Structure formats: C-alpha cells, structure tokens
Structure 1
C-alpha cells in the first residue's frame, strides 16, 4: 500500500486523514503485516534537526502522522497542505476501541507502575478482560531491553503502545522493529497513558482546535515543560521560515 506523503524541514509526513489512518492500521492487522507508526509535532521536528538518531528513527517509520496543529499550519504555509491533524492520543483511543471490537490484544509498555496498573484496570473494566496481552512500566536499564522485547513477543499482541518521552520511544521502536515483526501495529504514544489513567488532563476542544494544547500542557507542568515548548516551538518557527524564504539553505 502506497501512502501519500509530504516532506517539510527534512521530515516525511504522511498525508492521511484520521479515518484513513485507522483504515490503514486495520488493513495491516488483517493482512498480518507490521505497521511501524509515529507522530511528529513542532518540538519533535525541531529536535530531529539536531538529533540524527531520532531523525532516522522517525523517518524510517512506515506511517508518520502530524500530531501537532502547528505542523498542519506549517504544511499549508509551505504549500504542501496536510489533510488534518492526527493526534496520537486520539489515535490510541480509537485503536484500543478497534482492538476491543475485533478481539485484538494490546500490550502496554511505559509510564510509571502506578499509572500503567490504573490503565490496565480501567481497560479491563471497560472492555473484555483479555484485551490486555501484557504490560510493563517504562523504567528499565539498557541491558534489560532484549528481555522486554522477548516478553512482548511471547505475549503475541496485535498492537503495542509505548508510552515514553522522545527520543526514547522512537529509538526503542526503530531499534527493535524487526524483532517485533509479528506485532502488527507498533506505536509510540508519549504521555497518553497518563491521560487515559486520569493523571493528566487534555486541553479543552477549543484549545486543541486553536493549536494551544501545548500551552495547556505547559500550565499543568511548567517546570518540566517550559524548556521543551519555549525553545522547541521557537526553533520550529525559525525552521519553517527558513524553508519558506531560504529553501536553498536547508
């Protein structure tokens, strides 16, 4: 299946709507093929510009969606308009619902032990109890990675969600994608476990539509988020303007 894409600021982004993305995911599960998924926002694209390993991990994914509204606006400004934003947290929610409807199994990897246990309990109560193939918190040493990957393989999920910060989740999925070949859908979901477990809240819909979800997140955790958003978003704006007006100096 050929997926239409654009390229802005040395980043490939697939031009699919939310529903088209879901159809693509389900098609891969039905055909028992792996789909390595990731998302990009303004801060991640800025980080990729200086982090070659992260850039390779992201650009090598099979499906890359624009998670941030700023990326959609930038695509229009650069005359490569994306259809719409496909927020990772919304996509995970829809994928879990898809799994429940079709009796797929999911594996949850990331966040703290408290958060992941809360989320597992919630999913088992909301959906059938055997939707969970397995779960593990996101704190581990490098020499534990191979064992973790083996445990995921043994659980035989159709979907794997990895909830860790960037670039840890992107690099983990890229590094182990071949070993996890039998998992049909692998996706990095950042702080989504915290949202679904009730630890953090999403911005109101009007703030999401206005591209201010990042600001709402900043208000919840200013000490942790100020640097990411202030520096990352400013760098993204600079890179967009540079690509627009000085395309030969990329």
Structure 2
C-alpha cells in the first residue's frame, strides 16, 4: 500500500461509477475498468478492501438476510457477475454497464499484474485445487502467486481467521482470491479482512474450478444472452436446481416490486 490520496476519496470516486440494485451498490462500467481500479497504486488504505463478483444469487440472498446485506454494503466493490444485473443497471441509466464475470475478472487481473510487484494468494477450492490453479496462473497468465490455502469444509464461523491471516500476511501478498460460493465466500472474506494486511480480498466463486478445467464454462454466446444459469443447471442439476428455480423468479419479482413502488430509479447512496 503506497502513499497517496486517502481511500475515502477513491470510494467517493466509485460512487459515480455504481448503480444501486436491490439495495446494493454495483459497479457500472466493465472488467477493464475494474482491473485498473484494483491495481491502482496511488491510493492507500489501513485495511483490506473486500470485492465481490456477485450475481442474482447474492442479491436475492441479501434481500432475505440482513447480516449478509450489510456485508455486501460494506464491501469496497461489488461487481455484476451475471448479465441480468447488467441489464437492470442499464435500465436504471448506467448505459456503460457490462457484465464483470468473476472468472474473467480473475484472469484479466492476473494478466494485468504480470511482471509487476503484485503478488496473489489463492484461497479456496477442494484439496489440491489452489495448487493446480497456482501453476495455471504462473504459466498461462504470468502472475506471481505467493501462496495457496484450501479451507477445510467447516461452518463459516468455525475457521481460525487470525491463523489463516497470519499465513497470508507472511507471504506479502497484495491480493487474496477467495474461491468458495455465495454467501459463504463473502462472509469468509469479511471475517478474514479484520486480520489481513493486504490491499484486496476478492470473492470470485467458481473461478478456481473453471480455470483448472474442473467445471465446464458456458459458451460465450450463452453467457451474453443471460442463460449461463441454465447451462450450469444442465451440467449440475442435483446441486443447482433448487437454487435457480428459486433465485431467477425472485430476482425478477424484487426488481418489479421496486418498479411498482417507484423505487426502481431512486438513487439512494
């Protein structure tokens, strides 16, 4: 973290690049701008800033869970992981808003930080996943990976966050990547940020499994028409059917309810 303008000025600048969707400020530009923002060196902070690539799942969950909603609202940056969020953002007037897909954001940040002093720490996935991803990041993206950690399967409140943070801090990493799932990864990141000495902690969901080939990604044309959820449902029906058959209708309903109440275009920052 270098000397420069206080982080509050950067956050103020961010407000002009965000749009509120279901009560959460969502980044309203594109991946290139988000990566540039993440790698800025002329701002300082005394705490680790949390970033989430969150889609309809996270936004709907935040409507039903007050604690999770406050966590997302406290994050430095929330990226629109799905096309539906980008569509809603454009309807609200954010004409430049593009989808900031977690796996793509992860990849582009790795590439942009190649041959720099920015070191990354990978935290997530089943045993061995982070180690494989480390090799992918170093050989394919040219990034510097200072350490990895695969959290055991525990309740999010049962992790020894000070111990995990100590492991991370010792590697001198600047950016930590969390590859769990929503809402666990955001809660994990929020708890971890109290003890880490890094610039950013980024939650990117299934990016770990996608980039090592454990999970097949939807074709780009499927992603662009907003049907990736259906593709993933076909790939993993037993795990995802309940989530998507609940999330998709509720995302539509909550936004329609805002429209009916006259709150859809309200700028409440």
Q: TM-score, normalised by structure 1?
A: 0.90
Shift of residue 176, structure 1, vs aligned partner: 2.7
Determine the structure 1 residue equivalent to 2:77. Answer: 63
Shift of residue 123, structure 1, vs aligned partner: 2.7
Q: Choose from 29, 32, 54 the match for 1:19.
A: 32
Shift of residue 117, structure 1, vs aligned partner: 2.3
Other structure's SS at 2:68 match: helix
Contact 2:161 2:195 (8 Å CA) reproduced? no
Determine the structure 1 residue equivalent to 2:203. Answer: 188
Shift of residue 166, structure 1, vs aligned partner: 1.3
Q: Which runs of 5+ in 2 are unaligned?
A: 1-9, 265-269
Structure 1 residues 47 and 127: alpha-carbon distance in aligned structure 2, compared to 1, 3 A threshold: closer
Q: Is 2:166 aligned against 1:153?
A: no
Contact 2:118 2:173 (8 Å CA) reproduced? yes
CA RMSD of superposed structures (Å): 2.2
Structure 1 residues 248 and 35: alpha-carbon distance in aligned structure 2, compared to 1, 3 A threshold: closer
Structure 1 residues 248 and 30: alpha-carbon distance in aligned structure 2, compared to 1, 3 A threshold: closer
C-alpha distance in structure 1 between counterparts of 2:257 and 2:96, whole Å? 19
Determine the structure 1 residue equivalent to 2:231. Answer: 216
Cα displacement string for residues 90-147 of structure 1 (whole angstroms, at most 9, x for unaligned residues): 100011112223142110000011322221232333356x812110113254142221
Determine the structure 2 residue equivalent to 1:171. Answer: 187
Contact 1:78 1:244 (8 Å CA) reproduced? no
Shift of residue 162, structure 1, vs aligned partner: 0.4
Q: Is 2:138 aligned against 1:109?
A: no
Contact 2:124 2:179 (8 Å CA) reproduced? yes
Count of matched residue positions in the alignment of Structure 1 and Structure 2: 247
Cα displacement string for residues 14-58 of structure 1 (whole angstroms, at most 9, x for unaligned residues): 22222211111111x454544421122112111111111211111
Shift of residue 193, structure 1, vs aligned partner: 0.4
C-alpha distance in structure 2 between counterparts of 1:190 and 1:237, whole Å? 22
Structure 1 residues 158 and 30: alpha-carbon distance in aligned structure 2, compared to 1, 3 A threshold: farther
Q: Choose from 59, 67, 76 the match for 1:45.
A: 59
C-alpha distance in structure 2 between counterparts of 1:137 and 1:26, whole Å? 25
Q: How does 1:81-100 map to 2 (within 5 A)?
A: 81=95, 83-100=97-114
Contact 1:42 1:232 (8 Å CA) reproduced? yes
Q: Is 2:79 aligned against 1:76?
A: no
Determine the structure 1 residue equivalent to 2:222. Answer: 207
Cα displacement string for residues 206-242 of structure 1 (whole angstroms, at most 9, x for unaligned residues): 0011011111111111100111111011111100110
Higher normalized helix content (fraction of residues): 1
